[in-house]
Amino acid sequence: MKTSLRLMFFGDLVGKPGRALFKKWAPVLKKEHKVDAIIVNGENASDIGRGLSPDNANFLLEAGASAITSGNHIWANKNIYEYINNQPHLIRPANYLSSCPGKGFVFIDVNGYEVAIVNLLGRIFLKEQLDCPFRTIESLLSHLNSRTKLICVDFHAEATSEKEGLGFFLDGKVSAVLGTHTHVQTADEKILPAGTGYISDLGFAGSIHSMLGMRKEEIIKKLIVQMPVKFVVDEKGPFSISGVWLDIDVDSGITTQIERFCIIDNDLII
């Protein structure tokens, strides 16, 4: 039996390009890197690049995702409210109120091992009124540890300081802390001193010459005139999709290897 599991995490998928990139590249990368399970952040996977619908979520699960994490845009499509109550493999940040639909974690089966995937939302520079992500995960750990040592956290947060803080706070307590939300892949993947895999941001899937997956013209106008504009998903190539894969020791739960990837795609057909 294998002594480690290899998991692959993809950053925020944006709109139709993000979904198309995931469908195209997830099976290729899974085979190439001998990946055991794939987790993807899908909170921007709708056609408008904000929120996701039940059809979007089903698409990602059918395309190879074992779990879908989210963030501050999870409630943008109201059709997701009932769906997330009935589809445990789509999770929302655990530090939303417990009365909110859905759950903040899921246990997935990976080669006969239980792996916990947890979603948290940062508070620095974000408008949502949330429970503390540090206290939330701390209160969850006893329940998670009663079933598995294999615990990976998607921390959807704006500030690198908050992400690094959670990484060190959880070092040795979880297998990995992986940042999402900023859509810009960072070059700081590492294994923290007590064995937790870490990266500040996984990046995104979308148009390379966009602004975080959106057409740059409208956003530049907003920055200049400071008036509301409608953001539109950029569907012009070239495109990229990024994330990390990591190896987790099944006995200790620590990460033994972490590597980021970024695929440039000049030929994607949406």
Is 50:70 a contact under the CB 8 Å cutoff?
A: no
Burial of 84 (0-12, 13-18, 19+ CB in 10 A): buried
Task: Decide if 73 is catalytic.
Answer: yes
Angle, helices 133-145 vs 160-169, to 10°: value is 30
Catalytic option among 33, 73, 89, 209: 73
Distance, in Å, from the CA atom of 122 to the CA atom of 127, rounded to the nearest integer, reads 10
Distance, in Å, from the CA atom of 205 to the CA atom of 220, rounded to the nearest integer, reads 21
Instruction: Identify the three-state secondary structure at position 247.
Output: strand
DSSP class of 76: S
255-265 and 239-249 as β-strands: parallel, antiparallel, unpaired?
antiparallel
Catalytic residue positions, numbered = 73
